[in-house]
Amino acid sequence: MAQNRSMEARVGRKNQRYGSKGERLVAGVVPLSNDKSKVLMIQSAGPGGWVLPKGGWETDESTASQAACREAWEEAGVICTVQRDLGLIPDMRPNALLTSNAPKASYQFFEVTVEKEEADWPERHKRQRKWVTYAQAAHALANRPELLEALNRSSLQR
């Protein structure tokens, strides 16, 4: 399937999908090297260091995996192939941390292999990317339990 690789990152939540309980549906990727020894992480747009590429599943995308691969392109500049669905992961943030800008979410992550890393991508001006080991990734995601759970469900070498 040919991916539509716009150089414009999507912004806003106008086309955001929501679940039956009003939770925002978020799709993301755990991008692994071909030998599964490293995972690609990106700089968080906000404070909080390094994260996995993820974002809202939008109404014009028929599958969560489509949304996840679009996010991988926009945020990390990678073209990827989905290897497997890592399942649904509930939002584990305490209610005190939820806001109108960061409402409760339901995460669906996919393990992907990176086919190509482009030098130019939509969010290159605000995000760096780096390949790290499981230990480095787990440490970086210690305060993001839903992302750590996705990492732990992947087949990344420990």
**Mean pLDDT, rounded, of the chain:** 90
Q: Are 146 and 51 in contact (CB under 8 A)?
A: no
pLDDT at 90 over 60: yes
pLDDT digits (tens, 9 = 90+) for 135-144: 999 999 998 9
Segments in 1-154 forming alpha helices (H): 64-76, 134-140, 145-153
- Distance between CA atoms of 17 and 70, rounded to whole angstroms? 15
Q: Give the model confidence (pLDDT) of 20-47 as tens digits.
A: 888 899 999 999 999 999 999 999 987 7
Domains (ranges, CATH) in the chain? 24-153 (3.90.79.10)
Tell how many helices (H) and how many strands (E) occur in the chain.
3, 7
- What's the pLDDT tens digit per position in 107-122? 999 999 999 999 999 9
DSSP-assigned beta bridge partners for residue 84: 111
Q: Where are the alpha helices (DSSP H) in the chain?
A: 64-76, 134-140, 145-153
